[in-house]
Amino acid sequence: MSDQRSVLLIYTGGTIGMLADPRTGELRPMDMAHLEDQVPELARMGVRLEAFSFEVPMDSSDIGPDHQVRIASIIGEHYDRFDGFVVLHGSDTMAFTASALSFLLEGLSKPVILTGSQLPVGVIRTDARENLVTAIEIAAACDQEGRAMVPEVAIYFEYTLLRGNRTVKVDAQRFEAFRSPNWPALAEAGVRIRYNKAAILEQSNVALKVHSKMDDRLAVIRLYPGIRPDWLRHALAMPDLRAAIITTFGSGNGPSGGDFLKALREARGRGVELLNVTQCIGGRVEQGRYTTSVAFRDMGVVPCADMTLEAAVSKAMFLMARSTGPDWTRDMGSILAGEFTMA
Ligand code: ASP
């Protein structure tokens, strides 16, 4: 049997796979069969590559839970035939898809590396080639025993590998588009790729289970000084709403005015679960640290520790799909795929 490593490339869309129309300059998705013409290095990597492409490549702004489930199921269907997976995806919502995949692919023991680029692959100064080549190298990398170096869902961008469900997109123009504020990088690519073993998840010893449902009956409400309680009440009155993530100030704080809290209590009374995610890029929610978060704690708002909004949205959708009652909120406090740090 050949010991050549194998990687499946899954192209969902995004700038990375686009070519500029020579006449108009408009960016259009390119045929994945021509990827090697654009990145001839692929043929010299010594990795067996196969590609799978969405029939209609998508801008990642159009990617939703159904597409995330589809990517997970493509990985599931090809899981035994490949050593690793590279998902080419627009960068705009990449952190959401990476988070969702980390929950949908329970027991994952192979690398799933998402990457994309800020400039299309055919452009001279493109970041696509380096991102793609190194993502493939990481997806194929194994230790001396043949175990994957990165048995988890990660994002590779601009010389850095980050845990997918810890990542946020922080820049719309710079090549360094992502950060992982509350967890160290999993690897840095310089002359060699340096893996930060202490930060990488342990190999799973259970079989892969691919989940196929997400429940989108969720809202995200960002607090701001001056938020009107009646607006909040309307937002929370959506008929089939099961949960709302409130993005709060600092360590999980919000206005302490009676009408504001009443609107939240009314929603709780109708069985809407409330989750608390901080608006800060780094740090964590600590309900009860300030008076302005005591009421949240007392009405049973679920604190989301140092989870990113992307991870909290994906985790809530994933957990809600698995239960019809309110018990799923308990699992928000269990670490499923390294998505938060225990206090
Ligand atoms: N708008 C694009 C997308 O997210 C940007 C990118 O590809 O990075 O699909």
The mean-pLDDT minimum among 172-176, 242-246, 328-332, 336-340 falls in 172-176
Gap from CA of 236 to ligand 1 centroid (Å): 31
Q: Tell me what pLDDT residue 122 has.
A: 82
Domains of the chain, by residue range, sit at 6-210, 218-333
Q: Tell me what pLDDT residue 79 has.
A: 98
- Decide if pLDDT at 1 tops 60: no
Gap from CA of 139 to ligand 1 centroid (Å): 22
- Decide if pLDDT at 125 tops 60: yes
Asked if 138 and 159 count as a contact pair (C-beta separation under 8 A), the reply is: no
Positions of E strands within the chain: 6-11, 18-20, 27-29, 48-53, 84-88, 105-106, 112-115, 153-157, 160-163, 168-169, 178-179, 187-189, 193-195, 209-210, 218-222, 243-248, 273-278, 302-303
Kindly give, in sequence order, each residue whose CB lies less than 8 Å from that of residue 166, ignoring residues fewer than 6 positions away: 180, 181, 182, 183, 308, 311, 338, 339
CATH architecture of 6-210: 3-Layer(aba) Sandwich (3.40)
Annotation marks residue 115 as catalytic: no
Share of the chain above pLDDT 70, in %: 99
pLDDT band at 67 (very low <50, low <70, confident <90, very high): very high
- Decide if pLDDT at 31 tops 80: no
The mean-pLDDT minimum among 3-17, 96-110, 230-244 falls in 3-17
What is the atom index within ligand 1 of the atom nearest the CA of 18?
A: 7
- Decide if pLDDT at 20 tops 80: no
Q: What is the pLDDT of residues 303-313, one digit of tens each?
A: 999 999 999 99
What is the atom index within ligand 1 of the atom nearest the CA of 94?
A: 4
Kindly give, in sequence order, each residue whose CB lies less than 8 Å from that of residue 206, ignoring residues fewer than 6 positions away: 106, 107
Q: What is the pLDDT of residues 204-250, one digit of tens each?
A: 989 999 999 999 999 999 999 999 999 999 999 999 999 999 999 99
Decide which of 3.40.50.40, 3.10.20.30, 3.20.20.10, 3.90.1660.10 is the CATH code for 218-333.
3.40.50.40
Domains 6-210 and 218-333 share a fold: yes
DSSP 301: P
pLDDT band at 130 (very low <50, low <70, confident <90, very high): very high
Residues lining ligand 1, CB < 6 A?
Answer: 13-15, 59-60, 90-92, 116
